[in-house]
Chain A
Amino acid sequence: MSTRRRDFLAATGAAAAEGNLHAQDSHGHDHQAVPSDPALRVKALESLLVEKGLVDPAALDALIDTFEHKVGPRNGARVVARAWVDPAYKQRLLAGAAPAIAELGYSSQHGEHMVVLENGPKVHNLVVCTLCSCYPWPVLGLPPVWYKSAAYRSRAVIDPRGVMREFGLELPEDVEVRVWDSTAELRYLVLPERPAGTANLSEDQLAALVTRDAMVGVAKVTAASGGQA
């Protein structure tokens, strides 16, 4: 059992102990409160599958660690900044996203197809997964809560401008809005427009401006944005 798994159990125990103030049994023994129903179901699944040799607990821990600490929108921001400063890279990125993204060290083990959608003065791209929550993990990490909500999933297609307005993005009427519905096999990353007034910024400084929301298409990158992804 790795340190992380002990942490998980300890954390569960600590949470349980808090609830226990109200749940001590009649003998006054300080036993642990029972975790939530979903937590118990996951423990049942995991312990049975581990016993059968179907999953390796260390591999589960490594995967969780990757998603909690190594994968996130900063990866996508570096891809976007590179595309802004390096026209040849941008060309490769638009022609075949996965290999170009892998050049920066970000790759998927699932083999799903990646497409980069370029925004321009007259075209704005918006990404959704109407059926569940397919999302370009290697470049954006796991999706935010709103991306998974029934409201976003249904409304992004029906009323994309209304959705974007709620995010504070008002697009002129002459800008064409294209909505892209992700699938298990096809994920999208929006390449936002490089904001004006950033000609003197370094690639790193540019990457710092690029937000997760801009790479999903519910925001634009501005010279003052960044830091929230």
Chain B
Amino acid sequence: MFAEPWQAQAFALAVKLSEQGHFTWKEWAETLAAELKAAEDRGQPDDGSRYYEHWLAALERLVTGRGLADRPALLARKDAWADAYRHTPHGKPVVLNVVLNRDAPPDTSL
């Protein structure tokens, strides 16, 4: 059903934000349809396997469009997560505060 865990998370985020009234499901479908159409117009018709990439793009568009988060904050947070992975030793859970306290010694209590 979900090829990778992030697809499930992106799916659930869209459904929950809509349930909470941040956008209607009709608005969701229209935004997703626009992303799919844009991909086709770029000459990249989806065979269905990249569907959740379009889903994610639609989610980012609605989240930023509705002011729930802005693009710079999303980009900064994405970089922070990437950094967290780079600085977390293998086998340890990756948590964001590894980066936020990068100069501090690693928390070994985890």
- The reply on B105 being an interface residue by CB < 8 A is no
Whether the Cβ atoms of A134 and B29 lie closer than 8 Å is: yes
Q: Can you add 11 more A-B contacts, CB < 8 Å, to A13-B90, A46-B13, A184-B25? A: A12-B94, A32-B86, A34-B82, A35-B81, A35-B82, A41-B56, A45-B63, A47-B81, A49-B68, A54-B17, A54-B20
Contact with B along A118-144 (1 / 0, CB 8 A): 000000000000011110000001101
Contact with B along A134-161 (1 / 0, CB 8 A): 1000000110111111111000000000
Contact with B along A29-56 (1 / 0, CB 8 A): 1111111101111111111110010111
Can you name 20 A-B residue pairings with CB atoms under 8 Å?
A: A6-B93, A9-B93, A12-B94, A20-B90, A33-B85, A36-B4, A38-B53, A39-B5, A41-B74, A42-B56, A43-B77, A44-B80, A45-B74, A55-B13, A63-B15, A131-B36, A134-B29, A150-B47, A184-B24, A184-B30
Closest B-chain residue to A184, C-beta based?
B29
Whether the Cβ atoms of A45 and B4 lie closer than 8 Å is: no
CB neighbours of B48 from chain A (8 A): 144-149, 152
CB neighbours of B15 from chain A (8 A): 63
Residue tally, chain A, CB below 8 Å to B: 63
Contact with A along B29-65 (1 / 0, CB 8 A): 1101100110010000111110111001001100100
Whether the Cβ atoms of A8 and B46 lie closer than 8 Å is: no
Residue tally, chain B, CB below 8 Å to A: 62
At the interface, is chain B mostly helix, strand, loop or mixed?
Answer: helix
Whether the Cβ atoms of B82 and A149 lie closer than 8 Å is: no
The interface centre, meaning the residue of B5, B25, B40 with most chain A CB atoms within 10 A of its CB, is: B5
Q: Closest 9 interchain pairs by CB?
A: A150-B45, A184-B29, A145-B48, A149-B48, A131-B33, A44-B77, A30-B90, A39-B6, A44-B78
